[in-house]
């Protein structure tokens, strides 16, 4: 899959090992600070000077901002599932900080597909999504369980 492809995949269309690549998002200092003011007002996310000498030693995006931008990239074609990108939960890590000027891109891989026993019209897909910056450094790993619908079967004649 490449960015720009506009298709909607059902559970039936997926296989373990299938990979997707998102579009990109360039993040700047104003965005980092605006998100931080609203959701994560800590010095290392708010101000270049105040960020010096902190754990991050320089302005860094809130991890939740990276997570939200990853979702934007998944919804925008990085996870082209029918019914949308609907998460039930998962795991995440932020191995490196995200800095002003970074260009983020998400590559995802289907790890597991589990048809629902109680709801035959859907299943759960485990998707591992790595968010990388322009240097290829992984800034977030997200392994999420997503609800994906099955293709509707036509009624038998």
The reply to whether 138 sits near a second copy by the rule CB under 8 A is no
- Backbone φ and ψ of 143, nearest 5°: -115, 110
SS3 (DSSP) at 156:
coil
Q: How far is the CB of 115 from a second copy (least distance, A)?
A: 17
Chosen residue from 3, 14, 18, 87 binding a second copy by CB under 8 A: 87
Specify the residue, 65 or 132, whose C-beta has the smaller distance to a second copy.
65
Binders in 6-45 for a second copy, by CB under 8 A? 35, 38-44
Chosen residue from 6, 15, 30, 88 binding a second copy by CB under 8 A: 88
CA distances from 24 to 9, 33, 56 (A): 21, 20, 24
> Phi-psi category of 83—alpha, beta or left, where left has phi over 0 and alpha has psi -120 to 50?
left
Query: Token pair for residue 82?
Result: 């029918």
The reply to whether 55 sits near a second copy by the rule CB under 8 A is yes
Are the CB atoms for 74 and 142 separated by under 8 Å?
no
State the residues that interact with a second copy by CB under 8 A.
35, 38-44, 54-55, 62-65, 67-69, 71-72, 75, 83-94, 141, 147
């Amino acid at each position: 899959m490449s960015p720009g492809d506009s298709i909607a995949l059902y559970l039936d269309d997926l296989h373990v090992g299938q990979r997707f690549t998102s579009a990109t998002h360039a993040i700047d200092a104003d965005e980092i600070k605006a998100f931080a003011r609203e959701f994560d007002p800590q010095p290392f996310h708010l101000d270049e000077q105040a960020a010096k000498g902190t754990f991050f030693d320089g302005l860094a995006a809130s991890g939740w901002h990276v997570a939200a931008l990853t979702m934007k990239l998944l919804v925008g074609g990085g996870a082209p599932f029918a019914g949308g990108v609907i998460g039930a939960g998962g795991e995440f890590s932020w191995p490196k900080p995200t800095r002003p000027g970074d260009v983020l891109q998400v590559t995802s891989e289907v790890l597991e597909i589990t048809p629902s026993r109680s709801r035959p019209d859907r299943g759960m897909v485990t998707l591992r999504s790595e968010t990388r910056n322009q240097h290829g450094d992984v800034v977030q790993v997200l392994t999420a369980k997503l609800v994906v619908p099955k293709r509707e079967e036509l009624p038998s004649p």
